[in-house]
A and B are shown apart, each in its own frame.
Chain A
Amino acid sequence: MNERLAQALGNLPDYLGQHVLLSAAALALALAIALPLVVASSRRPALRTPIVAFASLVQTIPGLALMALFYPLLLALAALLSPLNIRIPALGFLPALLALTLYALLPILRNAIAGIEGIDPAVKQAALAVGMTSRQTFWQIEAPLAAPVAMAGIRTAAVWTIGAATLATPVGQTSLGNYIFTGLQTENWVYVIVGCVASAALALSVDALLGIAERGIRQRRRAPLILSVAALLIGVAVALAPLGLRGATGNTVVIGAKNFSEQFILAELMASRLENAGFRTSQRQGLGSAIAFRALANSDVDVYVDYSGTLWTNVLENSESLSRDEMNAQLARQLRERFGVTVVGGLGFENAYALAMRRERAKSLGVTDIADLAKHARNLTLGADLEFLQRPEWKSIANAYGLAFAATRSFAPTFMYRALQSGEADVISAFSSDGRIDADDLVVLRDSKGAIPAYDALVLVSPKRAADAAFLAALKPLMNSISVEAMRRANYSVDRDADKRSPREAAQTLAGEIRPPAR
């Protein structure tokens, strides 16, 4: 427990620094956009309605979706700009920054405009009557009178931005959200709590400091205003110091991980190997399945592990089923030709989709094969992870066996296993390398019709690193070195409730169990 806390706190300088950098940059950018709009709208009140309407519209998009939407937009932009030799990263800081900036616009714009509209018309008339130009009226009368209300809006924006910045994790930007997303995935509640407490504490301190600034403005006192702005700047500088100390990040290898334990463990494993080989590493954890591959193809991520079946059906959009060797050969060729992505090789185990049931339930229904399941499916509930029901594999299984369930429900993987135990689901879309299959005494149903493709775990490398011999050499020893049993144990050590390990600890254990290079 204390150990896990210590480990969580070890990540704090990095996570907090990145979080502060992201939030502060988003807020600054939002101010830089909003304030000129406010000035423009003070001269032309007709602009106010469309400006506020736009900002409100943005606000209705869920934060996570907004971040995710920037990803394809930036990718398209990157494609447009690549002939000009301008490279824009579509993942990580930029999409998170843009989404948070848009998010922060509404409170700033709405309050500043409300502040200006709320000024006593008699005061505005007086400004005219004493002989002010419209510019003088804005800067000498409207701006100072609207400032306290505008400041309250900036405060709200700061609190929102700091909170929403935790959602930057899935688009590949490290933030305090890393604690929350990783923690939820591995049921490491210490992590989740550390993440929530840290971001709440950050938001509250910034709010308090801006509150002092707001009061200073309201009471027309300089001292509190200067004091709070200085405190904020010092705070930002202190938070950013660890990032600066790490030095230039130019040659840092970026390791990607999707959003489940196995991916976290393998990312840690690759990180430690690369670090031993002298590389600086950083991780982008919790990436969506499709985002991870695109990020790799765009060299936003340098290396991650994906599964052959997923690549075959989802990325290359093939529907024919081939033998394992043939598929792997085709994959390597097509990924290189179409995306410049290199398949370094397989890790030696498979993590296939599998339909699993509780042993006694399967026995009582007499189900051992998916074909048996089809007969009972009408009375059963399928529990799936968040992706499965949208994936072509599911359609192919459903078609091959004529499966039609009474109901289907989606869960985060952890909760999917819980649902199976509690009877909320009768069948789940399990993963064959998942330690919980053994631990929970589940049976994996046979796929007699071969509808589920192979899912060999493959190490993929970005176009940028394709020719980096030292880099590839550091990864090579991992090929064919991990047995499915070892992977299951590692996964289970992270997923179980008692005596939980962190992904890094599990990776260390796994490294000790690696098979010596067979061939």
Chain B
Amino acid sequence: MTDAAAIAFQSVTVIYDGAAKPAVDNVSLRIAKGEFVALVGTSGSGKTSLLKTINRLHDPAAGAVQIDGGDIATVDAVQLRRRIGYVFQGIGLFPHLSVAENIAITPKLLGWSRQQQSGRVRELLDLVELPQEFSDRFPAQLSGGQQQRIGIARALAARPDILLMDEPFGALDPVTRDNLGSACRQIHERLGLTTIIVTHDMQEAMLLADRIIVMRDGLVAADGPPADLMSKPGDDDVAALFDVPRRQAEKLSALAARARGAGPHA
């Protein structure tokens, strides 16, 4: 038991009622404090299921999850969740609450004063680069990308040590996506978080994360720093996964070279 692990999965298995095979199958992983981990893999491979065991949205059928060395099955789920930021795949903002009320929800549950709450809302709007005027709007009055930013701000509101993000940039255009990704990485550094992000975008995973975990059929198919996995993918499927951004990068640089070489030809 080295104490460096912020999150440790010990033979975690998740089986949904009536499912033939487990969504997460006997997974053991250690995630160090301060790590930025990308969780990738095909649809249905068990990424969300694994993530939900960390804040007890779903308890594993077997195995245990530890945070800072303590088994989370023994702590109160409600208190645990208030210490962990979680950004949903489907955003999940509360439609009847204003932006400010959405962001301040966990601080409010924790009993922060009104002033502390509104101060925190201002900080977080700045952090996710949204204007302060948005405070009084309702989620339906925001674009999809703006809603996702609010989702991230809400997850960070109570100053968690752990940030879990499930495909947080799904609804964004490439430019915003890139900006917000970098912003997340900066926030991660600045606040000293332990972050797990689920993404389908391999390029994003490779550029943002310190470490990539590839899941397949509930199992960990590969695990390591991006550069290592690119050079030693382990098996063909993982290799194919890492091949995508590589081939894209090659094509793009060729295209860029041609564009430069051709010059203004009109």
Q: A145's contact among B78, B96, B106, by CB below 8 Å, is which?
A: B96
CB distance from A452 to the nearest CB of B (A): 71
With most chain B CB atoms within 10 A of its CB, the pick from A129, A132, A141, A144 is: A129
For B138, the chain A residues whose CB sits under 8 A away are 220
Task: Decide yes or no whether B192 CB sits under 8 A from chain A.
Answer: no
- Say if the beta carbon of B124 comes within 8 Å of chain A: no
B266 proximal to A (CB < 8 A): no
**Complex: A125 Cα to B93 Cα, angstroms:** 10
Question: Which segment, of B9-17, B83-91, B203-211, faces chain A?
Answer: B83-91
Whole-angstrom CA separation of A120 from B90 in the bound complex: 10
Contact B88 A122 (CB under 8 A): yes
Does any Cβ of B come within 8 Å of A243's Cβ? no
Are B95 and A145 within 8 A (Cβ)? Answer: yes
Judged by a CB distance under 8 angstroms, whether B79 is at the interface is: yes
Q: Check A141 against B94 for contact (C-beta < 8 Å).
A: yes
SS of A interface (majority) = helix
Q: Which residues of A contact B91 (CB under 8 A)?
A: 122
Q: Cβ of A386 < 8 Å from any Cβ of B?
A: no
- From B93, which residue of chain A is reached at the shortest CB distance? A126
B92 within 8 A of A: yes
Interface residue B149 (Cβ < 8 Å from any Cβ of A): no
Whether A125 lies near B57 (C-beta < 8 A) is yes
Q: Using an 8 Å CB-CB cutoff, how does the interface string of A189-222 with B read, 1 for contact, 0 for none?
A: 0000000000000000000000000000000100
Does B199 make an interface contact (CB < 8 A)?
no
Q: A131-B79, A131-B81, A132-B78 are in contact. Are A126 and B109 (CB under 8 A)?
A: no
Interface string of A213-250 (1 = CB under 8 A from B): 00000001000000000000000000000000000000
B88 touches A129 (CB 8 A): yes
Size of B's binding interface in residues, CB under 8 A = 22
Which residues in chain A, 134-159, are within 8 Å of chain B measured between CB atoms? Answer: 136, 141, 144-145
Contact A131 B96 (CB under 8 A): no
Interface residue B105 (Cβ < 8 Å from any Cβ of A): yes
Find residues 113-130 in chain A having any chain B CB closer than 8 Å to their own CB: 120, 122-123, 125-130
Q: B154 contacts the other chain (Cβ, under 8 Å)?
A: yes
Known: A123-B95, A145-B96, A220-B96. A131 touches B88 (CB 8 A): no
CB nearest to A136 among chain B residues: B109
Flag whether A133 is at the interface (Cβ < 8 A).
yes
Contact A144 B96 (CB under 8 A): yes
Contact indicator A129/B81 (Cβ below 8 Å): yes
CA distance A136 to B110 in the complex (A): 12
Assess A132 versus B109: contact at CB under 8 Å? Given A122-B88, A125-B57: yes
B55 within 8 A of A: yes
Closest to B55 in A: A129
Please report the total number of A residues contacting B with Cβ < 8 Å. 17
> Which of B55, B80, B92 has the largest count of A CB atoms less than 10 A from its CB?
B92
**Distance in Å: Cβ of B90 to nearest Cβ of chain A:** 4
Note all chain A residues with C-beta closer than 8 A to B86: 129-130
Residues of A contacting B47 in the complex (Cβ-Cβ under 8 angstroms): none
Do residues B92 and A122 form an inter-chain contact, with CB atoms below 8 A? yes
Query: Would you give the shortest CB distance from B89 to chain A, in whole angstroms?
Result: 8
Q: Provide the residues of chain B in CB contact with A125, threshold 8 Å.
A: 57, 88, 92
A123 to B92, CA, bound (A): 5
Q: Are B57 and A128 in contact (CB under 8 A)?
A: yes
Q: Among A126, A128, A145, find the residue whose CB has the most chain B CB atoms closer than 10 A.
A: A126
Taking a contact as CB atoms under 8 Å apart, the answer to whether B90 and A122 are in contact is yes
Question: Are A126 and B92 in touch, CB under 8 angstroms?
Answer: yes
| Complex-state Cα separation, A123 to B93, whole angstroms | 6
Assembly CA distance A141 to B94 (angstroms): 7
The answer to the question of B82 belonging to the interface, with a C-beta cut-off of 8 Å to chain A, is yes
A148 → B minimal CB distance (Å): 10
Least CB distance, B157 to chain A, in whole angstroms: 9
Q: Which residues from chain B contact A145 at a C-beta distance below 8 Å?
A: 95-96
Q: Say whether, besides A122-B90, A122-B91, A125-B88, A131 and B57 are in contact (CB < 8 Å).
A: no
**Complex Cα–Cα for A136 and B105 (A):** 11
A145 to B92 CA separation, bound complex (whole angstroms): 13
Shortest B248–chain A CB gap in Å is 32
Residues of A within 8 A of B57 (CB): 125, 128-129
Least CB distance, B171 to chain A, in whole angstroms? 13
Contacts of A122 in B (CB 8 A): 88, 90-92
Closest partner residue, chain B, to A147 (CB atom): B96
Encoded as 1 (CB less than 8 Å from any A CB) or 0, chain B from 96 to 125 comes to 100000000110011000000000000000
Min CB–CB distance B265 → chain A (angstroms): 51
- Evaluate contact between B78 and A131: CB separation under 8 angstroms: yes
Complexed CA–CA distance, A141 and B95 (Å): 9
> In the bound complex, do residue B78 and residue A133 qualify as a contact, i.e. CB atoms below 8 Å apart?
yes
* A127, A130, A144, A145 pick with most chain B CB within 10 angstroms: A130
Q: For B55, list chain A residues within 8 Å (CB).
A: 129
**A130:B82 contact, CB within 8 angstroms:** yes
Q: Which of B79, B90, B96, B106 contacts A130 (CB 8 A)?
A: B106
User: Please, which residues of chain B bring their CB within 8 A of the CB of A127?
Assistant: 94
Known: A129-B88, A131-B81, A131-B82. A123 touches B94 (CB 8 A): yes
A131 with B94, Cβ < 8 A, contacts A125-B57, A126-B88 known: no
Of residues B80, B93, B94, B110, which shows the largest number of chain A Cβ atoms within 10 Å of its Cβ? B94
Name the distance in Å between A140's Cβ and chain B's nearest Cβ. Answer: 8
Q: Min CB distance, B108 to chain A, in Å? A: 9
> A163-183: which residues lie under 8 A (CB-CB) from chain B?
none
Nearest CB of chain A from residue B155's CB, rounded to whole Å: 8
Of all chain B residues, the one with the shortest Cβ separation from A220 is: B96
Complex: chain B residue closest to A119, CB-CB:
B95
Q: With a CB–CB cut-off of 8 A, which chain B residues contact A126?
A: 88, 92-94
The CA-CA distance from A122 to B55 in the complex, in Å, is: 16
What is the bound-complex CA distance between A454 and B92, given in angstroms?
79
Distance A136 CA – B93 CA, assembled complex (angstroms): 16
A123: chain B residues at CB < 8 Å are 92-95
Interface bits B59-83 vs A (CB < 8 Å: 1, else 0): 0000000000000000000111110
Please, which residues of chain A bring their CB within 8 A of the CB of B81?
Answer: 128-131
In the complex, 19 of the A-B residue pairs with CB atoms within 8 angstroms, ordered by the A residue number, are: A120-B95, A122-B88, A123-B92, A125-B57, A125-B88, A128-B57, A129-B81, A130-B81, A130-B82, A130-B106, A130-B154, A131-B78, A131-B81, A131-B82, A131-B106, A131-B110, A141-B94, A144-B96, A220-B138
**Sample of 5 more A-B contacts, CB < 8 Å, known A125-B88, A126-B88, A136-B109:** A129-B92, A131-B80, A131-B81, A132-B109, A145-B95
A-B residue pairs, 5 tightest by C-beta:
A126-B92, A131-B82, A122-B90, A131-B81, A129-B86
